[in-house]
Amino acid sequence: MFPLRPHFSAFKIVYRLVVVIALYGATPPLLAQKHSLADQIVQQKHTDDLPEIINRKRIRALVTYSRTDFFFDDNGAPKGLQVELLHEYEKQLNQGIKEEAERVRVQFIPTTFDRLIPDLLEGRGDIAAALLTLTPERENKINFITSKRQKVAEVVVTHKSISNISSVEDLSGQQLYVLRSSSYAEHLRVLNQAFKQNKLKPIEIVEAPPHQLSEDILELVNAGVVKITVVDDYRAKIWARVLPNIQVLESVAISTDNAIGWGIRKNNPELEKSLKVFLQKVKQGTLLGNILFNRYYKKDRWIKNPNAQAERNKLLALIHLFRKYGDQYNFDFLAIAAQGYQESHLDQSKKSPRGALGIMQLLPSTAADKNVGIPNISNKEDNIHAGVKYLAFLRDRYFTDPLIGEEDRMAFSWAAYNAGPAKVRRMRDLAKKMGLDPNVWHSNVEVAAGKLVGRETVQYVDNIFKYYIAYSLVGDDYVKSVSDSGPSMPK
């Protein structure tokens, strides 16, 4: 059984981290050589300084795979805010060097946010290339490359329906959903200590799964799935321009006057000196405002809230079918429901331009195939049955390797449902060649997927996980609605 449970407190996806190397700009004759080099680098850890980095001709940047910081576009090229910054730094390192073979190249190493500093300290990368907030705890571990003149506040962001928060004290007793291993969580814990001294109820701090970043959380707030979060003020104000249902409470800040920047190890003084020279040449305000907003968001990507009352009613009318066939084919029924919501918003009347039908958006030819054997998918039950049976076929035929964890088996099955099992096989093959773990989806095979087929399949899987979280947040209600005799509709 897919192990993610209806209670969100139990939704703790633990993704195995394997260092990933994304080499860009290689011409076909060089691919074999570069992949061999990637394999060597994966097995090594380096903590040495800039002279040795330049001698290796590669500087390794730890990045988080996201729609703004790092991703592959539809042509397979790396894009993102951090990519832009790192390319500029690469130019600085190569000033005056004309021979291509002598030039230093950036290697992008995607990881999860909570692994940025641990991976840096272990020598899996040379720069933690994210806009990290300086905190005493972090400064004890790493050095920061930052302009301390640019101050950042961590502000409360809520769904527009929330109207009872005008001060930090109003957060007492509230649930806040924040980035895992973030300064937000750290500062909220400090705030809770003050609340305890003042005999106020503590804030319930919920840290997001490892693969979710601040932009994902803001999207959930916009959809009404999450009510309250904390985000850096500059990031919140940028995304408020495209997410109409969030409100940025600039006067409710849990921390102010923070500096942000890249992180490096403390024993790399030459790298630190070089990056500080680079910092003086970078107009961060322009990059943050123009690049992030104008290049790296697409308006049609935002999810909707599957827990809105009308949407909730649709699920309650179908939940006994998701439960029935989820149990029959060994799936968590809320995960299957989340897929159905992504496919059609649970609309049986929907038909795609390619002829896919109904709630599970399955082609009649696929449903009629001997591996599914349900030729009539025009009614809701047979449509859901056929979709779940086909998903089980994909899982059981193509993803039975014991090295694949249950969460990743589910992600691969969804990716195959969307793109076809042959393409997922190619994604995994490419991932292995790139130095990625072919048995892990997040920050690994999804990176290869973005390079191979663009963002559609990556976004498809990501959205289903978000819908699953949404259903999990109110999972008790959905579980109670299921009985042997069918669904219990709301009154």
- Residues 324 and 318: beta-carbon distance below 8 Å: no
* pLDDT at 169 (0 to 100): 97
| More reliable by pLDDT, 38 or 196 | 196
The residue assigned the tokens 């059609």 is 344
Residue 21 pLDDT more than 90? no
State yes or no: pLDDT of 37 exceeds 70. no
The reported pLDDT for the residue numbered 376 is 93
Q: Is there a contact between 13 and 209 (Cβ–Cβ < 8 Å)?
A: yes
pLDDT of residue 7 exceeding 60, the answer is: no
For residue 433, give both structure tokens: 């060649």
Tokens of 15: 């993704």
pLDDT of residue 99: 78
Work out the percent of the chain whose per-residue pLDDT is above 70: 80
Inter-residue contact 334 to 6 (CB < 8 Å): yes
Cα separation values, 285 from 218, 290, 293, Å: 21, 8, 12
Write the pLDDT tens digit of every residue in 422-477.
999 999 999 999 888 999 998 789 889 988 988 889 889 988 988 887 787 665 55
* pLDDT for residue 482: 53
Active site amino acids: 343
Residue 27 clears pLDDT 60, i.e. is over it: no
Q: Find out whether 108 and 86 touch, Cβ atoms under 8 Å.
A: yes
Torsion from C-alpha of 46, 53, 62, 273, nearest 10 degrees: 110
- pLDDT value at residue 350: 96
| Alpha-carbon span 81 to 85, nearest angstrom | 6
Side chain identity at 99, as an amino acid letter? E
CATH 3.40.50.300 corresponds to the domain 45-149+261-297 = no
The residues, any chain, with a CB within 8 Å of residue 220's CB and separated by 6 or more, are 177, 226, 303, 466, 469, 470
Indicate yes or no: pTM above 0.75: no
What CA–CA distance (Å, rounded) separates 378 from 388? Answer: 15
The domain spans of the chain are 45-149+261-297, 152-258, 309-487
- CA-to-CA distance for 141 and 149, rounded, in angstroms? 22
Q: And the tokens for 170?
A: 């109003």
Ranking 63-77, 294-308, 379-393, 410-424 by mean pLDDT, the lowest is 294-308
- DSSP alpha helices (H): ranges in 360-420? 364-368, 380-398, 406-419
Q: What does the alpha-carbon distance between residue 107 and residue 109 come to, in Å, rounded to a whole number?
A: 6
**Other C-beta atoms lying within 10 Å of the C-beta of residue 421:** 17
- Integer Rg of the chain from CA: 24
Question: For position 71, what pLDDT does the model report?
Answer: 76
pLDDT: which is higher, 128 or 2: 128
pLDDT of residue 459: 86
Q: Which pLDDT belongs to residue 299?
A: 53
Enclosing H/E stretch for 205: strand 204-207
More confident residue, 483 or 328: 328
Q: What tens digit of pLDDT does each residue of 272-325 get?
A: 999 998 887 765 444 444 444 455 555 545 566 776 777 888 888 999 999 999
| Partners of 132 in the β-ladder | 261
Closest CA to 455 of 415, 486, 420: 415
Q: How confident is the model at residue 484 (pLDDT cuts 50, 70, 90)?
A: very low
Identical fold at 45-149+261-297 and 152-258?
yes
Find the mean pLDDT for residues 350-361: 96
User: Mean pLDDT of all residues in the chain?
Assistant: 82
**pLDDT value at position 479?**
57
**pLDDT for res 450:** 87
* Structural contact between residues 421 and 398, judged by C-beta atoms closer than 8 angstroms: yes
Torsions phi, psi for 10 (to 5 deg): -95, 0
pLDDT of residue 20: 28
- For 332, 333, 368, 450, the CA distances from 326, given in Å and listed in that order, are 6, 5, 20, 29
Evaluate if residue 92 carries a pLDDT over 50. Answer: yes
Checking if the pLDDT of 23 tops 60, the result is: no
- The mean per-residue pLDDT over the stretch 70-97 comes to 82
Kindly state the average pLDDT of the residues 245-257: 96
Domain 152-258 superfamily per CATH: Periplasmic binding protein-like II (3.40.190.10)
309-487: in CATH 1.10.530.10: yes
| pLDDT at position 98 | 81
Q: What is the pLDDT of residue 476?
A: 55
Tell me: the pLDDT tens digits for 168-183?
999 999 999 999 989 9
Q: What band does 394 get if pLDDT is binned at 50, 70 and 90?
A: very high
